[in-house]
Each structure stands twice: as structure tokens, then as C-alpha cells.
Amino acid sequence: MRGFLLAFSVIVLLSSCKQDASNSTNGKDAEIAKKVEALLVQMTLEEKIGQMYQMNQGQKDSIKVFTAETIRKGGVGSFLNAEDIAMRNELQRIAVEESRLKIPLIFGRDIIHGFRTVFPIPLAQACSWNLDVVREGSTVAAREGRASGYEWTFAPMMDVCRNPRWGRVAEGYGEDPYLASVMAVAMVQGFQGKDMSDSNSIAACAKHYVGYGEGEDGKDYNSTWIPEAKLRNTFLPPFKAAVDAGVATIMSGFNDLNNEPASGNYHTLKEILRDEMQFKGMVVSDWASIAEMISHGYCENEREAAYKAIQGNIDMEMVSKSYIHELDTLLQESKITMSHIDNAVRRILTLKYKVGLFDHPYTDTTRRSVVLSQRHLNIAREAATQSIVMLKNENNVLPLSKDIKKLAVIGPMADDSANQIGTWAFDGRPMDSRTPLAAIKEYLGESRVIYAEGLAFPRSKDKSGISKAVLAARSAEAAVIFVGEESILSGEARCRAFLNLPGAQEELISAVAATGKPIVLVIMAGRPLIFHHSADTVSSVLYAMHGGTMAGPALSDIIFGLASPSGRLPISFPRAEGQIQIYYNHNNTGRPPQLDDEGLPIGTPLDPKGYRSRYLDIPTTPAFPFGFGLSYTTFEYSDIKLNADTIGMKDTLILTATVTNTGNTASYDVPQLYVRDLFGSITRPVKELKAFTKIMLNPGEKKEISFNITPKQLGFYNNQGNFLIEPGKFNIWFASNSADNKHKMFFVLK
Ligand code: GLC
């Protein structure tokens, strides 16, 4: 009885404090709303429109007279990139001490994958398939960013992307809407914490709304053609997830979306984001993306651009001045109403209250000690370790023995402290980086390491250093070659038509491989590259992307077996650019390729062989599939069961399975669950990731996994934008990656 009473009281207590918590949240929101209204009624039109303008204050030089004047008259609401705290606090001082209403400024920055402690690029973090690691990394970034003068980050970027030619594939979470959704939510939670006014939190920004990653042919800022069903089934889910997770802000994109640019697209901005998703937060444009609608040919002038943006409920204009120049005229001409402006200003002021700026407008300069703390570096090291994907390990060359007599460390990325931190790492400093060379020397001792860069930098075509690299390999028991891309080759406006290893890196690899020594190839890039020729000549391949400040120790831990590789690919790796777009969750077509169908047809033109959706001159499969990654051990999946082979609309399908570590090394595994809706009122993908987990198993250890699938998770949008859950037949896989079909089962949704 006692136990029951105790349990009961705990439940009552929890529910009441949960109740209190939610009341206090609602209470807090109501309180803020009151304050916002009280402020709004005092504001002039000019002051309201001023809040809707964000200026860039990037340069380190002094604050311009014009800028100070603009702040004084309430002509600006936010800055991005005010790079040092003194400048930031001076801008704020002018606002809160010298303007009429003393409304604080909010300061934003691209804190994309870390601030001073730089984490792996988001595409690499997605390789970790570990939401805790990703969330904790964003918490570190928030702590350092807030201590450095920013209350708002323009992250997470959640643009689903199936085209590695696009430079910004580096910044997102790959090709899958489900993985991108859960990654984005983890980042939002990490950035925003429980209370955005906390000095360890910053407001997050879901970007770029919407469809930016689908630029045709992979060029940046390019046109996107996304029919309603594809928009809602592939590109919107991460934003829906972020909105439901309470993301504070959203950024509209540059792309022309079905002939209506994303920053003026009424359907996506108003009808979907505001009306359907009920997003109450603040929407900021991308850099000048409102004014750029003139260049798109969608708006004749700033007045039309301002009109279409405010109709779409974009609240703040980044850098361009359409709102500043034209909103008052639009109002006078009754093209818009004051409520358009008031609603925008309400959302801006609400955000400023929520991040605590009215109570604490200044950055506390005493908190800088959190930046680059050992604890943060350790968290970054763990993130980098879990982001490394092992793609090949012939004869178990890896892990190398710590007793190796001599190891050759070769390649232009072995000691490149700048490029290893990757794109969009404004506040990272190369001097803080721990490179692979340094980490390996620290682990083995200088005397057992022989280093030869081979090439001065990744794009170099000067092969004069290759012979020295070959000699180094010859004199050692094994060689690790670090190659990849400079960070400038990925990120915004950094798109590539060819995905090869730049420069003479392939020649370097083949020259070193010709020595016959065991070779480990490590690729540090901002995107999937095409390197299978090189991969064929080496024993082992580790894909580390750009791993951030602690990329070196993470790679050293993996290379010497202090940690087992546990990364899995968040994006399909093409065999050739000609295969793009190649992604796992594609439709089946009426003539899907048959594996026995490979190669050139040999019959007459009437020969039925070969009339399939495929190329004549390359396999239909990617070089490495979505979800793929090896580890230093092996795993066995067994006892895979469904709780039912038929479920109703109110039931939950439960898949249970046992995962056993059948090798002799402790390692994480990432069991994945995929489904296929065999027949639908519209065609459905051949596979869709619906769940995964990352579990650590010691040698011989078994763990039972269970995944719950609800009918809602089997639903989809049709071309009319209706969400449907259709009865029907489904396949379901418990798999180690998207190409693993061993454990396929079947169920019916009634
Ligand atoms: C850039 C990017 C956007 C970034 C913004 C501010 O052009 O598209 O992602 O947040 O401008 O730097």
C-alpha cells in the first residue's frame, strides 16, 4: 500500500509541477504579451519599421556615425556579426540609453557548428546518428556564443539535399527528411535549452525555408521545382518538426520556388507556415533575399518586394532596406494595414523578451572563460569521433597497433589546422585546432612518426613532394594518407561540377599505395566525394568530412582503436556525377532496374533486356548507400518480430529485435527501421527511414531493441496537399543500412 501511496503522490507532484511549469510558461507568455502591447502602443511608425530591419556590423572598425544615429532614432532592431563584445555592448548602450523607447537590439550570428570550439560540420554530425551528441554540441555552441555577445544563431540549417554538387550540402543533414527532422530538433533543443533567457541559451533559426537544397543542377541560389507532395513529404518535415519543438525563428530562403521566390511565397510562408503549422515565432529573410526578388524578376521594385514579403509575414529584413524604404508608403496607399506591421513588431519584441534582452541587454564579459574550455573540447572530440564513418577495412588493417614501429603520416590534410574546421566556422581559429599529425605524434611519440605532406595543399597540382611521401611510406610499416577538400570548396556559393579529390591527391594516393604497404585513407571534405579508384588501391577508408577543432584526436582515437568507428552515412555517395540525383528513398518507376540487368544489353534493339530505368555505363547503386558504415566489430540481428502482421488505424506496430556484438571490440551500432508502402493513391518511395537508435555493445553483449510505428508515421501528403493514412500492404526492414535487405518483413494496415 505504502508503495502505491508514494507512487501516487509522486505522480500528483510531477503532474502538478508539470502543470505549474506549463502554467508558468503560459503565464510567462501572457506577461510578455502584455509588455509587448504596452510598448507597441507607444511606438511611432518609424520606430516600428525600424525594428523590422537588421543591419550588418561585421567589420572590426569603429561604429559609424550613421549607425549610431540610426540606433538613436530607433531605426534598427537587430545586428548580425557585431564581432567583438565591446562593440556589441556599445551598440546596445546607444539603443537602451539614448533611444526614445530604449528597446534593446538583438544580435545574431551564424553559429552553425560551434563557436570557438568548432564541431564537425552538420553533415558530419549527421553521420553520428547520435541525437545526444548533436544536442550537446549545440549547447556548447550556445554557451560560447551567448558569452561572446550573441543571443541568436542562424542555425540549424535543415535543407534536405540529394545533390552533393551543392556547396551547402555541408551545412545540412543529408538526403532523408526523418533524419534531418530529428537532427534539427536536437540542435534547436541544444541551442535554446529550457529557457532562452538563460545565459547558456540562444534563439535558434530553422533555415532556409523552404526547398533551398533542391536547386536544380546543384548550383546555389538556383531555381527549385518542388510539387506539393514532394514539398510536404520531403522538404517541409524538418521545419514542421522544428516548429513543433519550439524553434524561435525561421529564415526564408533565396531560392525561386515554383516560380515564386521563397522570400515572397505566400503559399509556403503564410498558408503553410503561419496558418497550417501555426508558427508564432519570428521570420527573418536571408541576406537581402527580399530585395533580390527584383533580380528574380518577381518584383519590379523595392515597394513590390516589401509588399510580397510582408504579405508572407516575413517580420525582419536582413541587410536590404525594402521595408525601411517602402512600408510607410504601402501603408499610406492602403496596400497593407497597420496590423501587418504590428504583428511583425510583436513577434520581434516577443523574441527580445524571451531571450531576456530587456532584463539583461548587455553581454557579461566575465563569462568568456567558458569559451574553448577543456570540457567543451572533450565534447567536440566525442562528436568528431562519432561522426567518422569507416567505409572499408580490408584485412582489418585498422585499428593500427599502438606498438607500430614507424607510421608514415602523409597528405595535405594531415596538418591543416585551418581547413579541418570546415565551412561556416567564422569564430573558429586554426591555432586552436588539434590536427591528425599532432594527435598521432602525441599518441605514438615523434620518433615513430614520419611525416610527408606530399602536396602543399589539397588542390595543388605540384607533384614534386610525392616522391618524399613515397619514401616515407617505404620507410614505415604502414601509412595513413589524409586528403580531402579545403573548406572554401564547400559552403555557400561553393558548388562543384566534379566531385573528385581536387589537385593531384589521387596521384599521391596511388603513388603511395604502389609501395604495397598497408594504407589507410582518411578523407576530410565538406561533401560526399568520388574516390573509388583511390579506395580500390588502399586497405581502409575513413570518411571524416571536416571534423572541427578536435578532428585530429578523434581520428587518432579511431585509427588506433581507442574508439570503434560508429558513423553512418546521412547521404548516398555517388559513383559518378552522372548518377546525381541518387538517393535511397526514390520511387520505383514502372521499370525498376533489376540487379541481373547490369551491363550493356547484348541483344537486338528488340531484346527485352535492358529496357529498365538505369544507365548503360554504370551500376544503378551508389558507391556507398545511405545509412552505411563499418565498425571494428560485427553485429548480428536476430529474433526480429512484429507484434502483429495486421494493425488498425488506432494500433501501434511494435518491432522487436535482438542485436548481438559478435566480435571482440566494444562498439556502437545503429540499427535502422525502414518501411515501404507498397501501393498508394500516389506513388510511394521504395524505402523510408522511420526509426533508428544508436547503442553501445560490448563483445558478446546482446540488447533487445524495440521500435514503435504508428499509422500516422505511415501517412503522406498527396498532390492536393492532403495528409492521408491509407490502409494497405507494407514491407518493413530492420537493417544496418538502406541497402541491407536481409531482414525484410510484411504487415498490413487495415
Ligand atoms: C547567408 C546565408 C544564411 C546566413 C546569412 C547571414 O547568405 O544564406 O544562411 O545565415 O546569410 O550570414
Q: What are phi and psi of 390, to 5 degrees?
A: -90, 120
User: Quick one: which atom of ligand 1 is closest to the CA of 157?
Assistant: 9
CB-based contact 105:78 (threshold 8 Å): yes
One-letter amino acid for residue 475 of the chain: S
User: Ligand 1: residues within 6 Å at CB?
Assistant: 80, 110, 154, 207, 286-287, 492
Query: CA-based diameter of the chain, in Å?
Result: 84
pLDDT at site 17 = 43
State yes or no: is 286 an active-site residue.
yes
Amino acid sitting at position 685: P
Q: Whose CA is nearest to atom 3 of ligand 1?
A: 286
**What are the grid coordinates assigned to 444, written together?**
605514438
Q: What one-letter code names the amino acid at 291?
A: A
List, as one string, the DSSP characters of 666-718.
Answer: -EEE--EEEEEESS-SS--BS-EEEEE--EEE-TT-EEEEEEEE-GGGG-EE-
Pairing of strands 317-318, 256-257: unpaired
Residue 289 Cα: closest atom of ligand 1: 7
CB-CB contact of 742 with 721 (8 Å): no
d(CA 629, CA 32): 48
Residue 81 C-alpha to ligand 1 middle, in angstroms? Answer: 11
> What's the pLDDT at 4?
43
Cα(6)–Cα(336) distance, rounded to whole angstroms? 59
Q: Give the gyration radius of the chain's Cα atoms.
A: 27
Distance (Å) of CA 608 to CA 209, 604, 612, 614, 619: 45, 9, 9, 14, 18
Residues 399-411 have pLDDT tens digits of 999 999 999 999 9
Distance set, CA 647 to CA 83, 269, 652, 707, 710 (Å): 56, 37, 7, 15, 9
Contact 580, 574 (CB under 8 A): yes
Q: Determine which residue's CA is closest to atom 6 belonging to ligand 1.
A: 287
List residues bridging with 729 in a β-sheet: 748
On whether the CB atoms of residues 205 and 286 are closer than 8 A, the answer is no
Phi, psi of 238 (to 5 degrees): -60, -35
Alpha carbon of 480 to ligand 1 centroid (Å): 36
Annotated catalytic residue: which of 159, 176, 286, 416? 286
How many other C-beta atoms lie within 10 A of the C-beta of residue 273? 26
Pocket test for ligand 1, best of 55, 81, 106, 110 (most atoms within 8 A of CB): 110
Q: Could you tell me the distance, in angstroms and rounded to a whole number, from the CA of residue 7 to the centre of ligand 1? A: 51
Model confidence, pTM: 0.95
Q: Among 121, 152, 161, 286, name the best residue to mutate to test ligand 1's pocket (greatest count of ligand atoms within 8 A of Cβ).
A: 286
DSSP letter (8 states) at residue 53: E
Looking at residue 601, its pLDDT comes to 64
Cα separation, 452 vs 460, whole angstroms: 15
Instruction: Report which protein residue has its CA nearest ligand 1's atom 11.
Output: 287
Predicted pLDDT at 14:
43
Q: For the CA atoms of 551, 554, 560, 561, what is the dihedral angle to 10 degrees? A: -150
Q: Which residues of the chain have pLDDT under 50?
A: 1-22
pLDDT of residue 24: 60
Q: Which residues contact 250 (CB under 8 A, 6 or more apart)?
A: 205, 206, 207, 209, 239, 242, 243, 273, 279, 281, 282, 283, 284
DSSP bridge pairs for 678: none
Distance CA 452, CA 318 (A): 46
φ, ψ of residue 257 to 5 degrees: the values are -105, 105
Smallest CA separation from ligand 1 atom 7, residue: 287
Across 563-597, b (16+ Cβ under 10 Å) vs e yields bbbbbbbbbbbbbbbebbbbbbbbeeeeeebeeeb
Coil/strand/helix, residue 549: coil
Mutational pocket test of ligand 1: of 159, 285, 492, the residue with most ligand atoms within 8 Å of the beta carbon: 492
Relative to beta strand 389-393, strand 540-543 is: antiparallel
- Reduced to 3 states, what is the DSSP secondary structure of residue 582? coil
- Sorted by sequence, the CB contacts under 8 Å of residue 622 that are 6+ apart come out as 572, 573, 574, 575, 579, 582
For residue 152, CA distances in Å to 85, 349, 383 come to 14, 14, 23
- Cα 639 to ligand 1 centre (Å): 48
**Backbone phi and psi for residue 536, each to the nearest 5 degrees, phi listed first:** -70, -25
Q: Which of 573, 412, 407, 622 is nearest to 507 (CA)?
A: 412
Q: Whose CA is nearest to atom 12 of ligand 1?
A: 110
pLDDT of residue 595: 75
Question: Among residues 750, 664, 646, 651, which one has the least CA distance to residue 700?
Answer: 664
User: Which pLDDT score, from 0 to 100, does residue 368 have?
Assistant: 86
CB-CB contact of 500 with 483 (8 Å): no
> Ligand 1 centroid to 357 CA: how many Å?
23
CA of 594 to the centre of ligand 1 (A): 43
Residue 305 has phi, psi (to 5 degrees) of -65, -45
The total number of residues shown for the chain amounts to 750
Distance CA(457)–CA(416), nearest Å, equals: 8
CA of 265 to the centre of ligand 1 (A): 19
User: What sign has the CA pseudo-torsion 386, 388, 394, 398?
Assistant: negative
pLDDT at position 26 is: 78
Say which residue the cell 579529390 belongs to.
501
Beta strands in 431-477 (DSSP E): 449-452
